[in-house]
Amino acid sequence: MIFEEEGEEGEKGAEKMDDSERTDTEAEGSSYSFLTKRQLEVLQMRHQGLSQQDIAERLGTTRSNISILEKRAHQNIARAQRTVRQWMMIRAPISLFVKGGTDVFEIPRMIFAAADEKGIRLHVTSMDILVQLRRNAPQLFHKRVLGRDVRIYMKENGETMVEVAE
């Protein structure tokens, strides 16, 4: 993932290092979380309602540095969420490719057929599937038609995930 650098002041300490340059203590922390100790500190204070300027004053740094720390923290959180989503997709027993232009009301039938082939009994209705699909990928639906090719993943519990096919 490429991060754009911001400002002349840049980051201080562990924020500027890649994993190979971190100390043992920092490396242990980074293997526990995608967030550095400093990023966690900033996020906690922001969650408490403090402004970036207030945090900068408390930590003895600049508002610009706090902004960078917060931005990187949110990027790391988004990366972690994508990683978990990819892992969930790998573990989903039902995976099917659906062509753009397909009537959305055909999709539940396709999912139930794929589940039957694998001997999986889904405890969801067609409407449950359509609601999840619409919630997970609203931009893909154009009235009753799927706008793009997608891959749909479904877990045994009926949780549905959608990925735009390449």
The share of the chain scoring above pLDDT 90, in percent, equals: 42
DSSP string spanning 8-24? Answer: TT---GGGGS-GGGS-H
In the predicted structure, residue 78 carries a pLDDT above the cut 80: yes
Please determine, for residue 10, whether its predicted confidence score (pLDDT) is greater than 50: no
Query: Residue 40's closest CA among 11, 15, 21?
Result: 15
Helix (H) or strand (E) holding 40: helix 37-47
Does residue 138 or residue 60 have the better pLDDT? 60
Confidence (pLDDT) at 12: 41
Across 28-32, 85-89, 108-112, 116-120, least confident range: 28-32
Site of tokens 């900068």: 56
To which H or E segment does residue 97 belong?
strand 94-98
25-34, 94-103, 129-138, range with greatest mean pLDDT: 94-103
| Residue 26: band (very low, low, confident or very high) from pLDDT cuts 50, 70, 90 | very low
121/68: higher pLDDT = 68
Per-residue model confidence as pLDDT tens digits over 150-166: 888 888 887 877 888 76
pLDDT the model gives residue 52: 96
| Distance from the first to the final alpha carbon of the chain | 19
Give the span between the Cα atoms of 33 and 36, in whole angstroms: 7
34 near 80, Cβ under 8 Å?
Answer: yes
